[in-house]
């Protein structure tokens, strides 16, 4: 089996926080009188160390190990700098006068966001489902963003990797084609432009695709795609415009390890990281993707969020000119979650590790052919699995005759693998809302395979919740209450 080169995003330069946002609050020793420390990993004698040193925030010595400690104060502290955390920050910065900090254990795009294929699609959403209105709103917001860039004389294709390709959801059998025909009717009734394509029409839209007489497709001409890395870079740059006003700061490579809760009213007052204490005057937003469940457990606040990682591989053939695709493609099996059992070298895996591989393919703005994708529950590992890459390749070869003539090994250095952990919620929709019993802590996670497409709608929803505004989309289907367990 051929070796795999793994796509690793370059680390971004760390931005120093603006001095104007550094807290003038008393050090933790004073605060400890009215606060209880939740979580177990922060050294409890940190307060004592502050008392002993009796100096301004800086380097504090606890035992023989130096601990960098600093304090900052913001209206809102966001945990997680994936597409969800960064777009929430953007929304708050644009729509309020609140100050915002984003804290991440690594860097943006190190999570699921950096692996995403970038489909901003309605084709895969079902009218009338809980997620429908949010998806529709989010789609509109992405389209407006691209349009605004265009109106400012910028090229959305360059800035966001934006392409209005339209989406093609296609099937190979009579049953799948009938299902797609019904979906087109449903989408059209819901006001989304959609057209059913017969096999003949499908072939003229997408000549590289293997099509036989039973094939059919749903074409949604207004579906789009973006490049997650470019989009994140654009959002970060926009957020940083607020640094000089003292309204924004980023803290990367700094994992959140605990929360400080007020002894008076139980509200969370601060987020503790490995290096700093972030006081939050208004809200904490946890947008930690697939780590949200484990993080909430570590924070020990009595709420079990059942989000878990669903690993995905994508195969990227760089500067690939053997086939050019006119649309974003997806086999309809991706949507109906057809699952096959994974056969590992050790034999059959258990149900939890079920692997599903469905064909997705698109040409991105750089001319790369992006092929996918796998879905499996195998914990938090992001190691590349060569057998999965082989399976993706075999699957796409079924759909593109030209690729059957090619050997993946020969493509060699021009192929990359992208791996990410989708934040999976068992009931198939994100959790967005306050944590029961902690009115100033909000969750915004669990978007699984749609986090890019749902990001702007989610950001708007969270910002409205924090500011106490009525939502553009009903908050109720995403409420945390009833979807998390105590403990």
Ligand X SMILES: Cc1cc2nc3c(=O)[nH]c(=O)nc-3n(C[C@H](O)[C@H](O)[C@H](O)COP(=O)(O)OP(=O)(O)OC[C@H]3O[C@@H](n4cnc5c(N)ncnc54)[C@H](O)[C@@H]3O)c2cc1C
Applying CB under 6 A, the residues found at the interface with ligand X are 79-85, 103-106, 110-113, 115-119, 255-256, 287-291, 295, 312, 314, 372-373, 420, 422-423, 445, 447-453
Compute the distance between CA of residue 11 and CA of residue 130 in angstroms, rounded to an integer: 37
**CB nearer ligand X, residue 179 or residue 444:** 444
**CB nearer ligand X, residue 362 or residue 440:** 362
**CB nearer ligand X, residue 331 or residue 448:** 448
C-alpha closest to that of 461 among 120, 137, 145, 238 = 137
Compute the distance between CA of residue 230 and CA of residue 242 in angstroms, rounded to an integer: 20
C-alpha closest to that of 8 among 97, 114, 82, 96 = 114
How crowded is residue 152: how many other Cβ atoms within 10 Å of its Cβ? 9
Least separation in angstroms between residue 212's CB and ligand X is 27
Cis peptide before 327 (omega within 30 of 0): no
HEC readout, 337-369:
CCCECCEECCEECCHHHCEEEEEEEEECCCCCE
Least separation in angstroms between residue 312's CB and ligand X is 3
Least separation in angstroms between residue 314's CB and ligand X is 5
**CB nearer ligand X, residue 211 or residue 477:** 477
Question: With the C-alpha atoms ordered 149, 145, 289, 418, is the resulting torsion angle positive or negative?
Answer: negative
For residue 17, give both structure tokens: 């926080």
For residue 267, give both structure tokens: 């509200």
According to DSSP, the residues that pair with 317 across neighbouring strands are: 369, 415
Compute the distance between CA of residue 108 and CA of residue 288 in angstroms, rounded to an integer: 11
Question: Distances in Å between the alpha carbon of 391 and those of 4, 210, 309, 376, 420?
Answer: 14, 18, 21, 13, 17
- Residues 6 or more apart whose CB falls under 8 angstroms from that of 272 comprise 39, 42, 256, 257, 258, 259, 260, 278
Least separation in angstroms between residue 438's CB and ligand X is 17
**CB nearer ligand X, residue 211 or residue 371:** 371
Least separation in angstroms between residue 253's CB and ligand X is 9
**CB nearer ligand X, residue 133 or residue 177:** 133
Least separation in angstroms between residue 459's CB and ligand X is 10
Q: Are strands 347-348 and 415-424 parallel, antiparallel or unpaired?
A: unpaired
Least separation in angstroms between residue 376's CB and ligand X is 11
Q: Are strands 268-273 and 276-286 parallel, antiparallel or unpaired?
A: antiparallel
Query: Which residue is it, tokens 């109720």?
Result: 476
Query: Which residue is it, tokens 């607020």?
Result: 242
**CB nearer ligand X, residue 138 or residue 215:** 138
The angle subtended at Cα 472 by Cα 466 and Cα 475, nearest 5°, is 60
- Kind and range of the H or E element at 197? strand 195-197
For residue 353, give both structure tokens: 């590790």
- Residues 6 or more apart whose CB falls under 8 angstroms from that of 294 comprise none
**CB nearer ligand X, residue 217 or residue 314:** 314
Compute the distance between CA of residue 343 and CA of residue 218 in angstroms, rounded to an integer: 32
**CB nearer ligand X, residue 127 or residue 289:** 289
Least separation in angstroms between residue 288's CB and ligand X is 4
**CB nearer ligand X, residue 211 or residue 447:** 447
**CB nearer ligand X, residue 211 or residue 370:** 370
Query: Which residue is it, tokens 């309809």?
Result: 332
**CB nearer ligand X, residue 2 or residue 106:** 106
Question: Using only C-alpha atoms, what is the Rg of the chain?
Answer: 24
Q: Please give the DSSP secondary-structure letter assigned to residue 48.
A: H
């Amino acid at each position: 089996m051929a070796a795999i080169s793994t796509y690793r995003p370059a680390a971004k330069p760390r931005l120093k926080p603006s001095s104007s946002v550094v807290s003038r609050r008393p050090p933790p020793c004073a605060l400890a009188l009215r606060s209880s420390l939740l979580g177990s990993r922060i050294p409890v004698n940190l307060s004592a160390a502050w008392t002993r040193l009796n100096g301004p925030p800086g380097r504090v010595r606890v035992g023989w190990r130096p601990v960098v400690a600093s304090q900052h104060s913001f209206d809102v502290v966001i945990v997680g700098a994936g597409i969800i955390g960064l777009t929430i920050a953007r929304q708050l910065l644009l729509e309020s006068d609140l100050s915002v900090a984003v804290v991440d254990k690594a860097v943006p795009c190190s999570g699921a966001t950096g692996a995403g294929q970038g489909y901003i699609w309605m084709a895969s959403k079902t009218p009338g489902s809980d997620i429908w209105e949010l998806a529709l709103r989010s789609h509109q917001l992405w389209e407006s963003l691209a349009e605004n860039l265009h109106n400012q004389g910028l090229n959305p294709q360059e800035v966001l990797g934006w392409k209005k390709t339209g989406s093609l959801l296609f099937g190979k059998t009579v049953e799948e084609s009938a299902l797609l025909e019904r979906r087109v009717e449903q989408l059209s009734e819901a006001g989304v432009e959609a057209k059913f394509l017969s096999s003949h029409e499908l072939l003229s839209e997408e000549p590289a695709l293997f099509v036989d007489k039973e094939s059919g497709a749903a074409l949604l001409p207004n579906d789009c795609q973006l490049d997650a890395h470019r989009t994140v870079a654009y959002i970060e740059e926009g957020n940083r415009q607020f640094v000089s006003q003292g309204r924004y700061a980023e803290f990367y490579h700094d994992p959140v390890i605990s929360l400080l809760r007020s002894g008076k009213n139980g509200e969370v007052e601060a987020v503790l990281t490995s290096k700093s204490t972030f006081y939050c005057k208004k809200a904490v937003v946890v947008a930690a993707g697939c780590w949200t469940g484990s993080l909430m457990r570590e924070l020990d606040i009595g709420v079990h969020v059942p989000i878990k990682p669903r690993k995905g591989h994508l195969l990227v053939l760089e500067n690939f000119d053997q086939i050019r695709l006119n649309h974003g493609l997806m086999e309809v099996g991706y949507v109906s979650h057809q699952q096959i059992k994974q056969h590992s070298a050790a034999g059959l895996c258990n149900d939890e590790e079920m692997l599903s591989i469905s064909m997705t393919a698109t040409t991105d703005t750089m001319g790369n052919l992006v092929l996918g994708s796998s879905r499996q529950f195998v914990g938090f590992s992001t190691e590349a699995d060569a057998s999965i890459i082989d399976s993706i390749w075999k699957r796409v070869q079924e759909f593109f005759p030209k690729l059957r003539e090619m050997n993946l090994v020969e493509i060699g250095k021009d192929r990359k693998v992208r791996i990410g952990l989708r934040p999976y919620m068992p009931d198939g929709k994100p959790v967005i809302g306050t944590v029961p019993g902690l009115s100033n802590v909000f969750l915004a996670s669990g978007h699984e395979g749609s986090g890019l497409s749902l990001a702007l709608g989610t950001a708007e929803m969270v910002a409205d919740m924090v500011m106490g505004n009525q939502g553009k989309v009903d908050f109720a289907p995403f409420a945390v209450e009833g979807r998390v367990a105590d403990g």
